[in-house]
Amino acid sequence: MRPSPFLKIRQREPSGRLQRESVAEITATATRNRIRVGVRPGDARSQLAGSVFGRLCLQQEINARQYEAGCRFGVTVVRYAKVMGFASLNPRSLDMLMLGGGGHGEEAGDAEAIAQARRRYEDMFTALNDAPDGKRYLRALKTCILQNQHAELGDLRCGLNILCRLWG
């Protein structure tokens, strides 16, 4: 039986196992996939091209200030969840924010850091909820930044603008 013409024939190790793909092959595959979802070929190797939110920045749908506010939103939500002892938003991922911190909940850091994380989250949440249609903006932020899915661009921009005003 002949192999499919679409499958690339890979070399085998002396033990009979297939050889691993090279870094160049892996990079080429990732670049092709990013181009397929609409990233320009020149931007395909950028780290921003790896997420929906980053692609919006690359395509200049949001500006750099809004992108920074969105990144800060994500960090604030993750830190608050850790301080409160909530489960990770993505249990398969390593939480780089807490590598040196130890456990979960109140023992995750000193009292001042915990109070600051709570205060920052509560200020952010209050600013978003006080705005007209703030719940829609918060939903768009969570969908795009935390869940890496497409959200209504107008709502996302409004939420990011509120965060830009809050954090200066």
Is the per-residue pLDDT at 85 higher than 90? no
DSSP assignments along 85-128, one per residue: TPPPSSTTS--GGGTTT-SSGGGGS-HHHHHHHHHHHHHHHHHH
- Give pLDDT, residue 91: 63
Token pair 């009292």: residue: 111
Q: pLDDT tens digit string along 92-109?
A: 655 555 554 444 444 445
Please state, as a whole number, how many other Cβ atoms lie within 10 Å of the Cβ of residue 141: 26
Amino acid at 28: A
pTM of the model: 0.75
Q: How far is CA 63 from CA 79, 143, 144, in A?
A: 25, 19, 15
Please state, as a whole number, how many other Cβ atoms lie within 10 Å of the Cβ of residue 25: 12
- Give pLDDT, residue 1: 62
Looking at residues 122-151, what average pLDDT do you find? 95
Please state, as a whole number, how many other Cβ atoms lie within 10 Å of the Cβ of residue 27: 13
The chain-wide mean pLDDT, for the chain, equals 85
Looking at residues 44-54, what average pLDDT do you find? 90
Is the per-residue pLDDT at 132 higher than 70? yes
Report percent pLDDT > 70 for the chain: 83
Around 53, how many Cα atoms within 13 Å sit in the side-chain half-sphere?
A: 23
